[in-house]
Chains A and B, each alone.
Chain A
Amino acid sequence: AQSVSQHNHHVILSEAASLELGCNYSYGGTVNLFWYVQYPGQHLQLLLKYFSGDPLVKGIKGFEAEFIKSKFSFNLRKPSVQWSDTAEYFCAVTPFKASGTYKYIFGTGTRLKVLA
């Protein structure tokens, strides 16, 4: 069965620290990859996505992620976190389809708390 693992369930960092959140998926075929963020009291918002091409993708608010196909990984990074990055982060995978509809498979999420 397809699944997504996020290894860190809770992360606490001080402002200006670097962040890396792990994400691994299990699916043998081509996938589309996403990171979503859920700020307190807000709905899920897209941070970044990977479909093809350069495996290093940049998203909003200084976030980036690297797709390593051989490791089935799509880790999220940010060089210097801010207090406002406190949120829950979800990795999601969808098997590639040439067109039409698809479903997301989400990881269990990582709660990030940034201390001011």
Chain B
Amino acid sequence: ETGVTQSPTHLIKTRGQQVTLRCSSQSGHNTVSWYQQALGQGPQFIFQYYREEENGRGNFPPRFSGLQFPNYSSELNVNALELDDSALYLCASSSAGASSYEQYFGPGTRLTVT
């Protein structure tokens, strides 16, 4: 069973640029959630994708957007990067309708905005 993978591992961008982060969900999972973990904080929910559509969103501006593909992998796009976007971005996969309600997390992408 393949776990959740994310790419890239680290990324440095300049303020105002755009970035795309990628996530491959665990085998058998059809739902992907994205979280932002700032330094010293717990993960904050950005949004969730199910059947290629956004299914719930946290308090993040529209410049945070995403996609889910037919193979259930996902992308997180952030436009017009700001310094405060520097954080660890976590992807988590799960199976909609499963009784366990458990999400499986990837290792994250560390984004630094300068």
State the A residues within 8 Å of B (CB): 4, 6, 32, 34, 36, 42-46, 49, 51, 90, 92, 94, 99-109
- In chain B, positions 18-67 with a C-beta closer than 8 Å to chain A are 31, 33, 35, 40-45, 48, 50, 55-56, 58
Q: How far is the CA of A53 from the CA of B40 in the complex (A)?
A: 33
Say if the beta carbon of B73 comes within 8 Å of chain A.
no
User: Which of B42, B43, B94, B105 sits near A101, CB closer than 8 Å?
Assistant: B94
In Å, the complex CA distance between A100 and B99 comes to 9
Q: How many A-B residue pairs have CB under 8 A?
A: 66
- Interface contact A51-B40, CB-CB below 8 Å: no
A103 to B42, CA, bound (A): 14
Partner of B42, one of A42, A43, A100, A109: A109
* Known interface pairs A4-B42, A106-B42; A100-B96 also in contact (CB < 8 Å): yes
> Quick one: which of A49, A99, A103 has the most chain B CB within 10 A?
A103
C-alpha gap A49/B96 in the complex (Å): 17
Minimum CB–CB distance for B81 against chain A, Å: 23
Q: Which among B41, B96, B101 is the interface contact of A109 at CB below 8 angstroms?
A: B41
Q: Which residue of A lies closest to B47 (CB)?
A: A103
- Check A90 against B40 for contact (C-beta < 8 Å): no
Residue among A4, A101, A105 facing the most chain B CB atoms (10 A cut-off): A101
Contact B97 A103 (CB under 8 A): no
User: CB within 8 A of A43: which of B44, B102, B108?
Assistant: B108
